[in-house]
Amino acid sequence: MSDSVFTLLHLAATAAEQNREYELRTLLARVRSGLDPDADSRDTLAAYYLAGLSGRVEGRHRANLYLRTYEQPQIDLFRTLTEHLPFVRVGMLANEHLLDNLRRHTIATVLSIGIGQGHQESALPARAAARGLPLRRLVVIGVDPAADSLAAAEVNLKRAGAEHGIDVTFHAVPAATEEMDEEVWALIGRSPRPLLATASFALHHMVDPHPGLDARAVFLRRLRALEPAAFALCEPDSDHHRVSLPERFTNSWRMFSTLFEAIDATPLTRAEHDAMKSFFGREIIDITGAVDERSRYERHEPTATWLRRLRRCGFRTIVPEITPEVEGMLTAPPDFTLSVRPDHVRLGYRQAGLVSMMAAVPDR
């Protein structure tokens, strides 16, 4: 894949932004004629951008990635990624931050935004037992738009709790984060303390209800008002939220090209590489293909933006203690990196930052 493909796709994104349909079709045809992802896996990245921008011409309607019907559901592919890409396991750091606040508590509540099938949260009982914590009862409030994932999360959590002598109560909230109603907030408010909150790769899906209203800030202020003992936020470090389509293309190309390189470096088959790339490929199509902004769900933001928002909403960030055991699981094999900054932990590949974990507590 040559640099000219990037240039042609950038020109196509600009034409799409300016509604120059004939020019867009012409540019996409030129890109299409030069790609053969079946023969050369390096063409796979550009092929996903081609599919996304082509969708703008065809006017496809899109739904939340985790609610679409795929042969391999997005949530299942994410589980595969956690097995092979260390930086996707950043939820381990989030768990350690939450557990740091349970040294003297036998009961606690965990609010998990975008809980999925609950694999991150299901590790909490084992880690609590390994650290000798007195935890005996755990209330988990799981928020996720996919009802099937919530059902799986309840099974996984209760099984994990039973294995370690911890009674787990699970409350399923089948909704997007911005759809949490007063009944849900009241449930969180009356649940046992301390309240621990976690959101891993979830808040960037939030869609602002109208220009000028930051749905993510609204959520964080409501959470802060409930005095959580700790909040762990894990998010990619890129900007695809409110910027123009050409800028979204450039920013996302930088991030996804690094992700595809990391996937290619894993000792797996071409078919397994392609399956993992399809997870991110669907995100690329969402980022570049949505014509209606209200139907675009992959809205990543830079770490610096998240840090500013946390401070504005009444939180301060801290750096959790990272044990050698956890660090080893997040940096093996070689070329996967972890760096501790004053206000966050950064994970990446070959020194390129990809994901950040922000550990926060209320600023009093």
CA distance 47 to 274: 12
The verdict on 252 and 107 lying in the same domain is no
Task: Identify whether 76 is part of a domain.
Answer: no
Q: Are residues 112 and 178 in the same domain?
A: yes
On whether residue 45 sits in a domain, the answer given is: yes
- Domain membership of residue 328 (yes or no) is no
- Cis peptide bond upstream of 194, omega within 30: yes
Give the pLDDT score at 331: 84
Q: Which domain CATH number covers 179?
A: 3.40.50.150
Residues 291 and 304 in one domain: no
Is 342 a member of any domain? no
User: Which of 71-75, 189-193, 296-300 is most confident?
Assistant: 189-193
Report CA 313 to chain centroid distance, whole Å.
Answer: 21
- Band of pLDDT at residue 77, cut at 50, 70 and 90: confident
- Residue 247's domain comprises 3-60+243-295
Half-sphere exposure of residue 134, counting CA atoms within 13 Å on the CB side?
Answer: 6
Same domain, 261 and 305: no
Q: What is the dihedral of CA 255, 175, 74, 61, to 10 degrees?
A: -80
Same domain for 358 and 217? yes
- Is 130 found in the same domain as 232? yes
> Domains in the chain: how many in total?
2
Would the pLDDT of 263 be above 60?
yes
Residue at 111 is within a domain: yes
Statement to judge: residues 104 and 233 lie in one domain: yes
Residues 171 and 304 in one domain: yes
pLDDT at 67: 44
* In 2-93, beta strands by DSSP E: none
- Residue 363 CB: number of other CB atoms within 10 A? 12
Average pLDDT over residues 25-32: 96
Question: Is 337 part of a structural domain of the chain?
Answer: no
Closest CA to 78 of 45, 42, 119: 119
Q: For residue 23, is it within any domain?
A: yes
Residue 34 belongs to a domain: yes
Residue 227 shares a structural domain with residue 259: no
Query: 277 and 229 share a domain?
Result: no
Specify whether 218 is located in the same domain as 311.
yes
pTM for this prediction: 0.93
Predicted pLDDT at 79: 82
Band (pLDDT 50/70/90 cuts) for residue 62 is low
Residues 233 and 247 in one domain: no
β-strand partners of 333: none
